[in-house]
Amino acid sequence: MWSCCYSHAQLSRDFYKQSCPSLFYVVRREVQRAVNRDRRMAASLLRLFFHDCFVNGCDGSILLDDTSSSMGEKTAGPNNNSVRGFDVVDKIKSRVERLCPGVVSCADILAIIARDSVLLLGGPGWSVKLGRRDSTTASFSTANSGVIPPPTSTLNNLINRFRAQGLTSRDMVALSGAHTIGQARCVTFRDRIYNESTNIELSFALARQRSCSAASGSSDNNEATLDIHSPGRFDLNYYRQLLNHRGLLTSDQVLYSGGSTDSLVVSYSRSLDVFYRDFVRGMVKMGDIRPLTGSNGEIRNNCRRPN
């Protein structure tokens, strides 16, 4: 049904088995170091993969810097002052290049580090499908066009944006569980904690207001954890929080607000196994979105610029 978006046949789990056998070990070691230095980095690296795949497929385009002739995706609305971890990707890429020069794409590195980040915070593991190649261009305009759902999204918008990528409502709710780790800036939840009265628990709103003022200004970039109970563990507390109307972002709480996805939130709040199963399925499907394979694209030497 979603043949527009997928390329199952061309990606494989043992793509680098011969050409770069130590790849997984080298990447895991560097992700571990980065997360040990900054536990929050795990969420940032996972988010990089999502923001890459939703803009013209999983092609590493988010990693390209601006040039004099083209705008990259880093300064587009959903990414500007928000997406991070590029230096970690650079370090991993340079290690991998030393080991297997010209073999492993930046797009595949993003897929592997997303899996490792989840695993290192106690979440599920999965076999990552590989064989993507890197784009030679980025698209500022596409990244800015709304394909990445904003934190103010309605439930319908979330469902439609994920459906456009070949992902179901179930995939969307499970992948939203990535918000069991990470943080959000005051500007992304200010409206919710001050102007929503029906779908937010009062004490939760008041607590968030202490570090996020009603007027824009010095508190704009103050951060709050998306999961207040266990922000450093990949678990199901995110969904339990939604049942108590403590979703930080509007796009979190709409998953449990009397709509079609309520039953999924309840299901994930009760069973870690069910959440992990659907999250892994969603991640593998997301990794299949419009990859460049065969002779399309290239293997970048430096993730920040085309060869």
Residue 51 annotated in active site: yes
151 labelled binding-site residue: no
66 labelled binding-site residue: no
180 labelled binding-site residue: yes
284 labelled binding-site residue: no
Contacts of 36 (CB under 8 A, 6+ apart): none
247 labelled binding-site residue: no
User: Distance (Å, rounded) from C-alpha 150 to C-alpha 71?
Assistant: 21
Helix extents (H) in 196-236: 202-209
Helix extents (H) in the chain: 23-37, 41-53, 86-99, 106-120, 140-143, 155-163, 169-176, 186-195, 202-209, 237-243, 250-253, 262-270, 272-287
235 labelled binding-site residue: yes
Helix extents (H) in 164-212: 169-176, 186-195, 202-209
227 labelled binding-site residue: yes
Is the C-alpha dihedral spanning 197, 199, 205, 206 positive or negative? positive
Contacts of 33 (CB under 8 A, 6+ apart): none
Annotate 248-271 with three-state secondary structure.
Answer: CCHHHHHHHCCCCCHHHHHHHHHC
73 labelled binding-site residue: yes
57 labelled binding-site residue: yes
Catalytic residue among 8, 51, 229, 245, which? Answer: 51
Strand partners, 225: 183
87 labelled binding-site residue: no
Residue 264 has which token pair? 């999924």
DSSP state of 210: T
Write out the binding residues for Ca(2+). Answer: 52, 55, 57, 59, 61, 73, 180, 227, 235
Write out the binding residues. Answer: 52, 55, 57, 59, 61, 73, 149, 179-180, 227, 235
Catalytic residues, by residue number, are 51
Write out the binding residues for heme b. Answer: 179
